[in-house]
Chains A and B, each alone.
Chain A
Amino acid sequence: MSNVWIVIEAAAGRCTKAYLELVAPAQTVASALGASVQALVLASNDADATSAADALGQQGVGAVATVTDAALGQYAPQTYADAVAQAIQAKSPAAVLFYGGPTASDYAPRVAAKLNVGLVSNASDITVDGGKLTITKACLAESMLLTQAIATDGVQLATIRPKAFDIADGVAAATPAVEAIAVTLTPSATSLTSVEATKVEGISLEEADVVVSGGRGLQAPENFNLVEELAGALHGAVGASRAVVDAGWRPHSEQVGQTGKTVSPKLYVALGISGAIQHLVGMRTSDTIVAINRDAEAPIFKTADFGLVGDAFDIVPKLMEKLKN
């Protein structure tokens, strides 16, 4: 029986628990193709490979293949693409799903080009139609939905949009059978010389279940304590509009929108944000959107599930007060 792979970049702290979101779409694809799910773990040492295999077993993944090579310890797109392409050639999986974060989005296209096969990216839904992977994805800055299918023969590749699929609860754990795949990696022309960890206070914006964002309506950088406190009360992360990033009130790492981050938390709260299209594209796929703005005509209210027309400085302290009770 053939396999559907989910790729786990277990080297150098790249993969997070969010990678387990790949399990559900892989099961959908595997059952449609009459295949089974196997994880391909990329690691630089045996300890990382083993702990990744354990985490996968907890999520019910019963089969793991590993590529372990010291060269994978430093991320280089050529090395990673080489490792995955060689593993695919050795084992011929039917399909390979990647987690569409900054790592696989960078090297998966190289895998596709090396093997001369199609890749569909950023899938928020995935099915199989006539044996071909068929995905639905956001396009035109999140405003419409595009359906695409793989057109080539052989292995089918897809990257999955972060947060599009849920990690299943209460799955029976498995003890995965582990198989090692040998590859011969050639040196890469890029070398990672340093990583400056961006200051993440608490929860990262992309992974947070709740995001509270502030805009120019907060009137001064010091008033962002209101945003921080509400985010704290809701166990969420802080986001910002570009207006306040451009004004130097907040770092670009917090910017949500077309030229910032795309988030889709369970709850998005917009404080003093007008709702310009370039902001909306970064958050409109959030499950629930709450907007607080003193202008009843602000476009953010068209996207909001619940809107309060009023002064954030009046509303937010009351909201926190009532949330405490």
Chain B
Amino acid sequence: MAKQIVVCLKQVPDNTKLRPETLTAMPTHGVDMMMNPFDEYALETALRLKEAAGEGSTVTLLTVGHESAKNVLKKAIAAGADAGFIVDGNDVPAGDGLATAGVLASAVTALVPEASVVVCGTSALDVSGGMVPAMMAEKLGWASLTQCKEVTLNGETLSAKRVSELGVETHAITGNAVLAMMKCDYELRSSNIKGVMKANKTQLPIKTLADIGATVTAGITTKQLAQRPEKGDGKVIEASNGTTDAAVDELVAFLKAQKLV
């Protein structure tokens, strides 16, 4: 049976281009941004579920944040998603899991009322909250599983593999569910020219909190963003061309001094 699938995507700072010394608050836009890495796996999983569920199935993208997140949604539409909405995040405290989850739950109910599956990333790289998907499920009254590495549809039943301290757990799920993905054995498919053209034509409406009937409950207060204390300069020595023995002796002495051996 056809399924209406939602993917929650977050744009986050690109950590490979980050300059910590310039930041005093968590940026939500205005620096190099990218799709949260785990959300790429969420998107690919959703596209696979859409194919498995067949004719009439759709993937709808939701993001709460700045309008510049449209770039991330466009990338996802180019890869095969059908529609997307940006919920204006101006009044949603950035990185507040409880507040964000409440808004996303309202967005699912208001904008994709037929949805039966929401796929997320397990955690967002910026604040590393790791809580929006399960909180959202609780708000919706749906099942949830996080740290998933695979979700499949067997007939009408969803099944998820998640990684825990015990190994890889397989769970069978009845009814509606929010699933949060970590790294999977598959990567996000690349998009073709047709996809990119479609993405450029697709409208990405911006909704206000009032439009979707959302109210905000702040769960946390953000106090400060700070640089990590600098590590003292490490020692780097040459260990080749006849110096190996002396260098290895020095390493062993270092390990002993640190009580590591």
Binding site for B on A (CB under 8 A): 12-14, 16, 75-78, 81, 101-103, 105-110, 112-114, 116-122, 132, 134, 137-141, 143-152, 188-198, 204, 210, 234, 252, 255, 258-260, 266-267, 277-278, 281, 288-290, 292, 294, 296, 301-311, 314-315, 318-319, 322-323
Contact = CB atoms under 8 A, between A and B. Distances in A.
A106 B134 contact: yes
Contact of A101 (B13, B15, B127, B165): B165
For chain B, the bracket of interface size reads: 35 or more
Contacts of B143: 77-78, 188-190
B145 interface: yes
Nearest to A115: B138
B194 interface: no
For B130, B173, B243, the residue with the greatest tally of chain A CB atoms inside 10 Å of its CB is B130
- At the interface, is chain B mostly helix, strand, loop or mixed? mixed
Contact of A306 (B18, B169, B234): B234
16 contacts: A78-B144, A109-B101, A113-B138, A119-B97, A120-B220, A139-B225, A140-B125, A148-B220, A191-B172, A252-B185, A259-B37, A305-B235, A307-B236, A310-B238, A311-B240, A315-B248
Contacts of A147: 222-226
A320 to B, nearest CB: 10
A112 B228 contact: no
Contacts of A194: 169-170
A100 B185 CA distance: 24
A106 B137 CA distance: 11
B15 A121 contact: no
Nearest to A207: B165
Given A119-B131, A290-B251, 14 more contacts: A106-B134, A106-B145, A110-B134, A112-B97, A132-B221, A140-B20, A144-B228, A145-B228, A195-B168, A252-B185, A289-B234, A303-B234, A309-B239, A311-B240
B193 interface: no
Interface string B210-252: 0000000111111111111001001111111001110111011
B183 interface: yes
Given A113-B135, A288-B260, A139 B223 contact: no
B225 A110 contact: no
Interface string B7-23: 00000010110101001
Given A106-B145, A110-B137, A14 B244 contact: no
B235 A121 contact: no
B175 interface: yes
A109 B238 contact: no
B244 A314 contact: yes
A210 B131 contact: no
Contacts of B147: 102, 105-106
A112 to B, nearest CB: 6
B247 A308 contact: yes
A127 to B, nearest CB: 11
B234 A151 contact: no
A289 B169 CA distance: 33
Nearest to B226: A145
Given A103-B165, A188-B143, A314-B240, A144 B98 contact: no
Interface string B79-108: 000000000000000011110010000000
A192 B133 CA distance: 19
Contacts of B144: 77-78, 106, 110, 190
Given A81-B138, A314-B240, A190 B173 contact: yes
Nearest to A118: B219
B163 interface: yes
B224 A294 contact: no
B248 A322 contact: yes
A77 B224 contact: no
B129 interface: yes
B166 A14 contact: yes
B253 to A, nearest CB: 10
Contacts of A309: 236-240
Q: Which 6 A-B pairs have the closest CB atoms?
A: A118-B219, A310-B239, A113-B138, A307-B236, A109-B131, A189-B143
B27 to A, nearest CB: 9
A243 B158 CA distance: 32
Contacts of A305: 231, 234-235
A107 to B, nearest CB: 7
B26 interface: yes
Nearest to A320: B248
A197 B137 CA distance: 27
Interface in B185-224: 185, 217-224
**Among B101, B219, B225, B249, residue most surrounded by chain A Cβ atoms (within 10 Å):** B219
B165 A109 contact: no
A107 B133 CA distance: 10
B67 interface: no
Contacts of A310: 238-240, 243-244, 247
